[in-house]
Structure 1
Amino acid sequence: MPGHDPLCGEAAGQRPHRNENGRGAARFAVLLPVLACSWLAARIAAAAETNGAAAATETISFKTIEVIQLSIFAGVMGAALLSAIWLIRERGRTAAQNEELKARVAELSGALSRTEALLNLKDQRLLVWSGSGRPALLGELPDDSGAPRERSTFLAFGRWLMPKSAAALDKAAAALRDTGAGFDLVVETQKGILLEVQGRKSALHSVIRFVSLTAAQTEHARLKLEHERIVADYQGILGLINALDMPFWLRDERGQLKWVNAAYARAVEAESAEAATRESREFLPTAARAALQRHHLNEPVFRDAFSTVVEGDRRVFAITNYAEANRSAGIAVDRSEIEALRREYESTLRSHSDTLDQLTTAVAIFDADQKLKFYNQAFQKLWGLDPAFLESGPENALLLDRLRSENKLAEQPEWRRWKEQLLSAYRSVEAQEHWWHLPDGRTIRVVASPQAKGGVTWVFENLTEKIDLESRYNAIVRVQSETLDNLAEGVAVFGPDGRLRLSNPAFRTLWNIPEKLIGNGDTHISELKAVCDAVAKDSTWGDFVAAVTGFDDERRDRHGRTELVDGKILNYAVVNLPNGQVMLTFVDVTDSVNVERALKERNEALEKADKLKNDFVQHVSYELRSPLTNIIGFTELLALETTGPLTQRQREYVDHIGSSSSLLLTVVNDILDLATVDAGIMELEIGEVQVRPIINAAAQLVADRLREHQITLSIETDEAPESFHADENRVRQILYNLLSNAANYAPEGGRITLSARLNGEAVEFRVHDNGPGIAPDVLASVFKRFEPRSQGGRRRGAGLGLSIVKSFVELHGGTVEIDTGPDKGTAVVCRFPLEPRAVRAAAE
């Protein structure tokens, strides 16, 4: 049928629920092709009515333009038809999806309602985190559970849970949110109600669920908590026992070791406690274990002391073992130190008794029953009592009666009351002091010191000699006072309060102090300062006042000098005395100062003369160098063959001139070096010195001389360091002088040894020759200048070689020693520090 579209019918059949707008659009899409066909037929009929020519033209026009228009119109209509068909199909599909979504929303709404009904039960509560924000709170817990309903209070677990439960829950919740670790806990509220808490995490949410428990679950949870507490206590006890420095062990029903602590493992020298248990290493010896088993047949608790070897030492242990139901536990306490302390205590008591027995002060100790327990020899000697009577331990009252009967105590008007007053020391808490004047003229100081256990220690001090000494002391003080008054040295003693305690006439005379100012004996030092400031040029009395009245923690004595306006010069001393007193002494040294000034002027003149001598030596030495250098140069020139032939005698003369000039140049250089050292202007060029090269260089300088006398040089550097810090030129000069000196005294065909080694923080050079050695009378002056020594030597020099060696070594901060003797030659040892701390400007 025209206008019928099967696709539209199929679509309509598939989607029976289209709306009216959809159907209208479908009808419009069907009518469009019909209208297009009607319009085309009308145009053809109109064209048929025209005439032939016009019809031909119109036909041609219709066939070209109209056909194009018709084709375009048909294409547009076809596209519109297809679009309408696609739109009808999509609208039907969308309507179907909407219906499905409505059914799904209704289903989800029902599921949400059922979930909310389940979550809002009265016996559970949930915390849900969907991100990092605040959690959602769902459900409720029973009112008697102790869980608050308010959100803020509920989230503060510490407010309504027990501290231990709150801490465990906070830690588990943090782990759940951070790492997703689930947990199952049983927590206890402050009302004693148990709750089960479960924590789980999904892809988007973290959930903590609080569930109230039934009676059976509560009992099970309570037993679980109790078990956890018991396990925790058990682990704590085991941890404590394992930390003890006492061997501890547990045995099973077969008597085998079940568990031991670390101290047990150390005692049996096992790698660990597990190894000791696995290897069944026994701590107690076999005899001790057998005694323990026999005791447990009748008694569950065993206590005794045994000795065993631990870490190579035999020690005494107090063993306590408990056995019950075929299980036992034991612990060993090291009593070695206690036994040692007990022995030391007994030794101390004996030493204390021996010490008291050696005292000259009489000591007697009575116990709480007033019986004599100890006395020293001084006590027996003081009273002259029979040792047998004292050893019987008499009572204190009986002892007093015995002394009275033997007329060794002064008779008292009321003896009984006096004795009761004396014996009241046993009821006193403080020491009592008494003075006894004996019939034989002795004076005894008696001190009764109560003891903590009720006894009394009596100390009898014979003060007869002390009183006699005090009288003698007072006499001596009077004599010293008279002596002080007649001293030419001024003396004044001030107390801690600054008041004058003692002074002599010389003090008043030196400072022109009015006698009335000191006569009252209570003058303050500030008053003396006001008077003495006027007679001194630069008064030091301000320092005296500070020394007397100051509060320095460290009291130091001081000395000084002051000058008075009348020309007197006084040396003063501030001396701190005991009890905070200060003594000022003044000595008139006017004459001594004048003599001292004269001596200083003379010393300055001598120093100028010495400086003039040094300048002269330096000037002469430098002036000698130039002609000597010329002489040596011309001598070497004459010795050349190119200069001309020389006779044998002339050549000997030239060689003699050359050797003498070189020797003279060496002496001049040595004198110049010594003058530079003495003047204190020599500076060392400190640098790194290679030990072996510098030894070889010094040996090369004396090689010709050694060959001349067939002397062998041995060099030993195996123990020497690679280098040290010093002046390389001066070290080479030192070694050259030592080798030259050794070559001079070594016999023909002899041997010289040059060795270097590291000695602590120093490098030690040693030059030894097998010559005759140095005589003892010469050894004392071996380092003096211009002391030539030709005994046994080939050449007589200026005597400066060893002096230069000593000066240069001491400039480096080192030392020089000489080891010599008959039949062992001479060895000179020079020690240089590896790192010179301070280079002295001149040798001492």
Structure 2
Amino acid sequence: MGMFDLSLGLVLVVSSFGTAAVALYLMGHLMPSRKVSWTPIEQMGERVVFLFRDKELVDATPDARALLETGAGFLEEWPRLIALLEDRFPSLAVEIGKLGEAQWIELTDPETGDRVEAEWRGGLARIVLISGTGAQAGAREPDRLHQEALASELKTLRGVVDDAPMLVWKEDATGAVRWANAAYVNLVRRISESPGAIGWPLPRLFDQRPIGPDMAEPPRRLSITVPNCEEPLWFDSYDEAQEDDTLIFALPADKLVKAETSLREFVQTLTKTFAHLPTGLAVFDRKRRLALFNPALTDLSGLEPVFLSSRPSLFEFLDQLRDSRRMPEPKNYKTWRRQITDLESAASTGTYQETWYLPSGQTFRVTGRPHPDGALAFLFEDISAEIALTRRFRSELELGQSVLDAVDEAIAVFSSAGVMILSNRAYREMWDHDPDASLADTGVVQATALWQTLCHPTPVWGDLRDFVGDGGERAEWTAEVRRLDGKRLTCRFTPLTGHATLVGFSHVQSHRSLASPSKIWVKVPATGR
């Protein structure tokens, strides 16, 4: 019984679907389709009629299409129509947006009486433009609309050209000016003796430009002198050939000329300055071509000015330096190329500085610095004299130190600030103290504290501290102290030039008693303070 009920249900469902499908088929083929009823557009009485589906032009009368041709060609039909009519019907775009809901709108131009009627039917918008004299205006009505559209566009174009901050004019094949904008006319008035009476054709202001299209690479720099102006007016001109005529655009270039003049004067000043510098200068642009050099570079590098003027690359420049033995000789070429790459990388970050010891005995300090726009500047300084002086000074210091080390007396020298600046070998051995072994300075306080720990109590060390810090007149004096190991020392305290102080220690050979320390002042005053 259950299986019978299930089979009956399936039969009923299938039969229902079949009946619905047959009904739909008959409705689609036997019932007439619903269509929008429009009068053919060519049979409409109006001359200017548009038919749009959304913003797509479906159809239009010939006069309507002719009206669209007067609009901006880069616009589609719908925005082009709005642009043509918005001067007379400012609210057209807003009202058309409500057409689907309102079904019908009508707009009127209060000045001319012209009307726009728009009707919505079946997803299509029918837009009609009607003259203020009514639909029976005749065949001249579209001509008037075209003329108004053209006149409006001409007015806009004239306003744009006349308000443009540049000179615009047209010359014929003979160079005669046949048309010009307001800026050109105003300039003619400024240079004319009778500004109120300007003849036609207009005068040609710039005789320095050729007649006809300018074949030179634009722009061409033009200038003109204006009465009561201290400096001439400058322009950059661009030409556009138009059949037998030439349309010229001249943009004001006064600020640009002033900037170029200032830059040129600045470069000349730098060039003159660089010419007197003893340091060689080589500036390479972002492509690593030599863009600037001074005479000192030719002297230091030994390279010919002709080679430098050919704008060699950085690698070529350094290769030439290597060939002329004006830089350290590399061990092998591969290492050399890697060094050049490292040099360029270091200079671009502003970290390159190196001392070159040349085979000729000269010494160069080479510095690389980055500059704006990816340029690199290299400075070559001949520091041979400086190096020689440094070496000679170091040699004299070493000689002086050797002399001091050969002296049996233990010597220590304190600066005016009380810092030990010099000592000899005898001092280091006597006190087991090497001031150069420590990064910290050894002052007179630290030195006397050391000496005091190795000697019996005595007021000499306090007197020495006062003596070193005394800013007045000083004289040499001596004293004797006894070390803890029983040895007696004679101390000599001598003022030096620059308010420095020399302290000397020597062993006492006699067996004189030191029950009380002695202090002997020398009567001859010192030469230094």
TM-score range, shorter chain: 0.3 to 0.5
Q: Which structure: greater helix fraction?
A: 1
